[in-house]
Amino acid sequence: MLAAYAAAQSASDPLSGLVVGERPEPQARPGWTVVRLRAAALNHHDVWSLRGVGLPADRLPMVLGCDGAGVDEAGNEVIVHAVVPSDGWRGDETLDPRRTLLSELHDGTLAEQVAVPSTNVVPKPESMSWETAACLSTAWLTAYRMLFTNSGVQPGGTVLVQGAGGGVATALIQLGAAAGYRMWATSRDEAKGARALEIGADRVFGPGERLPDRVDAVMETVGAATWSHSVNSLRPGGTIVISGATSGDAPAKAELTKIFFKQLRVVGSTMGTQQELAQLARLVVQAGIEPVIDSVRPLAEARDGFARMVDGDVFGKVVFTVG
């Protein structure tokens, strides 16, 4: 089958280890199902894997990809859930210390077929396009859990999203606006800031800019570069929900005094559950949300999509069609 896979890794030249070519088809096994993919999408996780982060070299070659949607062995149209718990785990799979994402231990979704546990699929709403379905499993699921499970903010509250333009940030703005939050965002790129306004942000500010009001929650994926601004932007009792640290995880100022004096909450958030993915899919349909898609191209042209992401020239999701 055709697949985009990591054959080697390089911190300085991630594309050098990417191969778009033939890989063996996955074999069915008890408790698992093989999904024939119709669309898949790219995440920064895939680029980090090519850089050698989170994917041990002894697991190569590895088919990349966490996002995907297709048809299972029973003929059902499904969305793939990328969080794979360890054998015997019960409960919230994101809390399993031995959990993995597709493409870390098991081959991922950037292929014509993928094998997943039978519990790792949710129904694709009939009216939802394959391209939209392929966007939801990772960045959008992360955003859903950050906003609706972990922020504690009621509709009508104000939420600041650090770093407009990335996949999670874009999803946060669209989901929050649809749910009745006042969504503010920061961006160092004027064009991406303008796009954020187009997709639902109420206001956009420059990096570190003083806000006109304190916010109820900050959605943090940038890390060190924005941490102090996030802490200083919160009202007393507010919440930072952090799901990533793309600029580093060691801020120059941890702001611990402000965190305890203002009684701020700092909540870590990773991916989401199978149930949350199903709820997200229903919300996207019911609210008429159209995830921002940067580009759509066939899987055979996956290298071009990876190159756009490596260059940072992306706003929204990069989607690959299959078949």
CATH number reported for the structural domain that contains residue 6 in this entry:
3.90.180.10
**Is the residue at 185 inside a domain?**
yes
132 and 146, same domain (yes or no): no
184 and 101, same domain (yes or no): no
CB atoms within 10 A of CB 256: 9
For residue 181, give the DSSP letter: -
**Is the residue at 92 inside a domain?**
yes
Domain of 107 in residue numbering reads as 2-136+291-321
Q: Is the pTM of this model over 0.75?
A: yes
Helices and strands, number each (H, E), in the chain: 9, 18
Alpha-carbon distance of 76 to 147, in angstroms, equals 29
**Is the residue at 275 inside a domain?**
no
CB atoms within 10 A of CB 187: 23
Alpha-carbon distance of 219 to 244, in angstroms, equals 10
* Residues 255/218, Cβ–Cβ less than 8 Å: no
What CATH number is associated with residue 150?
3.40.50.720
- Secondary structure E strands in the chain: 2-6, 18-22, 32-41, 62-63, 67-71, 77-80, 83-84, 100-101, 113-117, 121-123, 158-161, 182-186, 203-205, 215-220, 234-242, 265-268, 293-298, 317-321
**Count: domains in the chain:** 2
132 and 15, same domain (yes or no): yes
* Residues 67/39, Cβ–Cβ less than 8 Å: no
Q: Give the number of residues written for the chain.
A: 323
Q: What is the CA radius of gyration of the chain?
A: 19
120 and 145, same domain (yes or no): no
> Between vectors from CA 318 to CA 312 and to CA 320, what angle results, nearest 5°?
140
- Local confidence pLDDT in tens for the 323 residues of the chain: 999 999 999 999 999 999 999 999 998 899 999 999 999 999 999 999 999 999 999 999 999 999 999 999 999 999 999 999 999 999 999 999 999 999 999 999 999 999 999 999 999 999 999 999 999 999 999 999 999 999 999 999 999 999 998 889 999 999 999 999 999 999 999 999 999 999 999 999 999 999 999 999 999 999 999 999 999 999 999 999 999 998 899 999 999 999 999 999 999 999 999 999 999 999 999 999 999 999 999 999 999 999 999 998 888 899 999 97
